[in-house]
Structures are given as structure tokens and as C-alpha cells.
Amino acid sequence: MIEDLRRIVSRATDRFTRRYWGLTFRCPVCHFLLAAVDADGNALLVCPVCGVVIEIESVYGHIVPVVHDVEVFRPQPKARVHPLATHLPIGLFPFALFGAVVLFVASLVGGWGAVLGGRAPVLADATLVLLVLAVVGALPTLASGLWDWNRRYRRRPYRQITFKIAGSIVYLAVGALAIALHASGAVFSGATGLMQLGSPLGLLAGVVYLGVLAVAMVVVATLGHVGGTLVFGR
Ligand SMILES: [Zn+2]
């Protein structure tokens, strides 16, 4: 089943890459995946990972990347804020999701609520705190990422970076929605700390809340993956 899931994900990723990345090729030096559309008017492109200057030649419709040079001045501070800051949302969000899932299961199975021993309200509060930290923590991550793009990549267009900026905005929006749902009291009962799955409205609120968290999890994991390729290469 995991194999099937992996195949579905990889097929969807391939289709998306073809659509959004367009014609792609690999950097001849570090093998990082590059999009031909990111080249400038002179068909030149600087690899964001290894910094070589590549000229894209088209031979019978095939892309032939020719390495000309290595970018001479490349700001490369040893400890960059962005890759460090990114661990705040990526590190904390899964725990917020875990807390929400435990509370959902406890609310679903009557006996399980007792296992928490009346500590469900504490767990619900802890989940909210983690959620707020994971979403608010994405703000310095986005800001330092934009700073890096400005300084290190000189605002050159890279498919990976525009994708990450768009994805961060989606994550912030979806994360804010999850916080609003949690804090509104529509999902969790203040008295028991459990989801009110017995009533149709409570069930709807619980399902929407979990769905929103799942979307945010997929988005933040994808952002982390794409960001990782910019740090570690392909
Ligand atoms: Zn390269």
C-alpha cells in the first residue's frame, strides 16, 4: 500500500514539475534540477547550488547545458538564518498535528478519553501553543528566506524559490485558519477538552480542523523538501 501511495505521489510530482518547471535539465556539475525558463535573455543561468554559470544551448530541441564560469562573488555565510529558522515550523508542526490526532481518537472512542485521565484540556492547550509557535515561527523563516534570495541569489528567478514563496504564503494562511478554528472553541469543548463529535456541527468542525492541519502538514513538508534540495543539492 505504501508502494502504491509512493507511486501516486511521484506521478503527481512528475506531472506538476513538467507543468510548472517546463523544460528541465540537470546542472552538469552538481546535477541539480534546473528549469530552462529561469535562464535570462542571454540564455544564461547560475546554478543556485554550486554557482556555475551555464549557457543553455538548444540542439535539435534538446537542451545542452554548457558551463562557462563559476560565479565569482557569492555571499555564503557559514550560518545562514533561513535553514536554521525553518526548523521551528517544520520541527513543531508535526507535534501539533500529533496532539490533534490523539485528541480526535480520544473523542471518537469513548473509553480512550478516560485514558487521558481528564488531561484532555491540557493537551488541547498544548496543541494550540505548538500550532501558534509553528505558524508564527514561519514568519521569520519566510523573511530570512526572502533576505537570502535577495542577497545570495540576487533575486534571480528560480522555480524552486518562487514555489517556496507561494507555498509559505499558503502555509501561513492555512495555519492561521487552523489556529482560528482551534481558538474559536468550535472544535474543542472547554470543559472536557475533547472534540464534540456527537453533534453534526461539532463533527463538521473537527473534520475541517483535521483536514486543514493535514493540508498544512503536506505543504510544510514539501517546502522543507524543496528547501533541502537548495541546501544539499539533488
Ligand atoms: Zn550546480
- What is the Cα–Cα distance from 83 to 171, expressed in whole angstroms? 17
DSSP-assigned letter for residue 195: B
How far does residue 72's CA lie from ligand 1's centre (Å)? 14
According to DSSP, the residues that pair with 54 across neighbouring strands are 45, 67
How far does residue 26's CA lie from ligand 1's centre (Å)? 8
The end-to-end CA distance of the chain, in Å, is: 27
How far does residue 79's CA lie from ligand 1's centre (Å)? 21
The per-residue pLDDT for 78 is 65
pLDDT in tens, the chain (234 residues): 889 989 998 998 888 888 888 889 999 999 999 999 999 999 999 999 999 999 999 888 788 999 999 988 877 666 788 989 999 999 999 999 999 999 999 888 866 666 777 788 899 999 999 999 999 999 999 999 999 999 889 999 999 999 999 999 999 999 999 999 999 989 998 888 889 888 899 999 999 999 999 999 999 999 999 999 998 887
Beta strands, E only, the chain:
24-26, 33-35, 44-46, 52-59, 62-70
How far does residue 220's CA lie from ligand 1's centre (Å)? 25
